[in-house]
A and B are shown apart, each in its own frame.
Chain A
Amino acid sequence: MSRAPKPGVPARPFWELEPVSTDAIRSDHVTLPSVEDQLPSMGDLLTLPRLARVAYAARAARRVQPLFEKLWPSAPPREVEAVRTAVSFAEQIAEGKSVAVPGPDRSFPARAAGLAANAARRSGTTLLTLAGIRVSAYSAAEAAAHAAYAGVIFDAEFAFNATYHAALAAGDGATVIEAVYHDFDSLHQTGSRLRWTDETPVPVSILGPLWPQTEPDWWREANRTEPNPRPQPKPDLRPETRPDFLDRAKRILGGDIRPDDYLPVTQEVEAHVTRDLAFAGEHVQKQFEAGRIPAAFEIDPNARFDEFGLTVGAKQRNEWLLSLYYGGQNIACIENEHGVIVLAVGLKNSAKLLDAFPYEQRKDVQFDAPDRPDTFGW
């Protein structure tokens, strides 16, 4: 495929087209339309067999994956692992391997990498300069997420998105785009020659070195072994995650509960609750207007379903608290009208807590693995 710039596309590298705001990563993405024009289009990608498209996407994500860890050295291990897993997942799918994922949802690796992208973005440290090039950990994770999705849904759009985000991740878009074209041409030519079908496994190794020309400086920098040890992730300061969590649980279960034992209610939690209740109110109003209920009523956050349960507002708040703080993790907790106190985090620590206290002392303790914030359901 011709690598000549398309009409109307400036020859300047895209990062020089618009000023880049370092405090609004998203704005970078919406102001850089030329990246899309410089990549093989979705129509081009539809000429590749299905697994070749996955290999193509995986390869793009693999190139920028080191940026995630390099730019966000304090990233929680879960997020780092999610991005690694998503890229590896796409590579294995391209090879025609059967890849086990946790749970029935095949998109789990993609969604996990998507959450890692969110977390990277929230960290505020993901758009940096490396070897003189503006690079983004957030976009690296996005590339991984889209590559993994390409291995689940096999839609050309996801393969395209993987390359798009890879180009954004490496502000040196030129080298990424060059490499992407190399992949596309190789896959296209080899596929035609060998008469690949959609089912033909395509190991990414057939594409040769990761960088067909020279490795870009930012990539070498991202993979450089630090002369000093890599900064260790900041210890999680939540008290329930500390090694002395059982001592804390003993105090709390003994009745000495302090205000800061509760999970902090953030603005995001409050916003979720507000929206949930507004939705319920609208739902009721619609039912009334449709004549399905005799009278409309307000959703009262202080309403109780019965004398045993929490109020509506507390219930929604507690669910979101757990979901946003500990979604996808096993925990032991106490919840009440004031909020949620998490006593142990992780399956093993939850089991230690179960062993450490007799039932009478811990009968208010509940064991759970809250839904992740974006889990829709089964």
Chain B
Amino acid sequence: MPWFRHPIHYRLLDPANTTPGAARPLFSEESAVQVLLAPTALFAAPIRMSLRAYVPLEVEFAPQQWLSSRRVMIDSGAGLSTFSAEWAREFGIALPPRSCRLQLDTATGRVSVTVYDLDLNVRFPRLRDCPFSLAVVFSEAHPPTTPPLIGLHNLLNYWRFTFDGSFDPAAAMGHMRFDTL
């Protein structure tokens, strides 16, 4: 069965240290380059590595018209696949006229959002011969600058996906593997 793998992206960041007694959190960089090239001892806590489970995805925004999204986020902790409604409108995706309200429990509390349901034809660029129909919730609360979020709902009808931490010289933080069912 067709499959592909994609490295898990990572990068290092510098979260402001707000520990009591620590230096006052200044948002400014020191000298950006100097800090960045400091000895690796700087890699100590707090957590500085940001891991991103992104893959590229193509979306059929109109019949036979595909749009390549550079990054969608695979979120096995999300039930729904969520895209920005504003993003969709701007790119000509015809949202259904009927909306509904969803209550979402988020990390910052409960929010009520207006959403539209749509089954969207999508495909991974690595396997263009395997398009599938993804049930997407287009949310008015999802900013257009937030990457599309791919949750579990109906993705598992088509794919088995695995997060694999095996080391590889070109994927030091592991990779994702997608197998068609």
Which A residues are within 8 Å of any B CB, using their own CB?
26, 29, 102-106, 111, 114-115, 117-118, 121, 138, 142, 145, 155, 157, 161, 164, 267-268, 271-272, 274-276, 278-284, 287, 293, 297-300, 303-306, 308-309, 311-312, 315-316, 319-320, 328-330, 333, 335, 347-348, 350-351, 354-355, 359, 363-369, 371, 373-378
Contact = CB atoms under 8 A, between A and B. Distances in A.
Given A359-B66, A369-B146, A142 B13 contact: no
B90 to A, nearest CB: 5
Contact of A305 (B5, B68, B107): B5
B156 interface: no
Contacts of B146: 103, 369
On chain B, which size bracket covers the interface? 35 or more
B5 A333 contact: no
A303 B116 CA distance: 43
B97 interface: no
A100 to B, nearest CB: 9
Contacts of B7: 305, 309, 315
Interface in B9-44: 9-15, 18, 24-30, 32-33, 36-37, 40, 43
B69 A367 contact: yes
B166 to A, nearest CB: 9
A312 B61 CA distance: 31
Contacts of B61: 354
A102, A350, A369 — which one has the most chain B CB atoms within 10 A of its CB? A369
B108 interface: yes
Contacts of B52: 371, 377
B70 interface: yes
26 contacts: A102-B143, A105-B108, A118-B29, A268-B32, A268-B33, A272-B12, A272-B36, A282-B40, A282-B43, A283-B173, A297-B167, A299-B169, A303-B170, A304-B170, A309-B170, A330-B144, A330-B145, A351-B90, A351-B91, A363-B66, A364-B68, A366-B56, A367-B70, A368-B71, A368-B147, A376-B15
A281 B25 CA distance: 29
A330 B23 CA distance: 35
A305 B170 contact: yes
B68 A347 contact: no
Contacts of A104: 106-108
A315 B52 CA distance: 13
A23 to B, nearest CB: 12
A303 B169 contact: yes
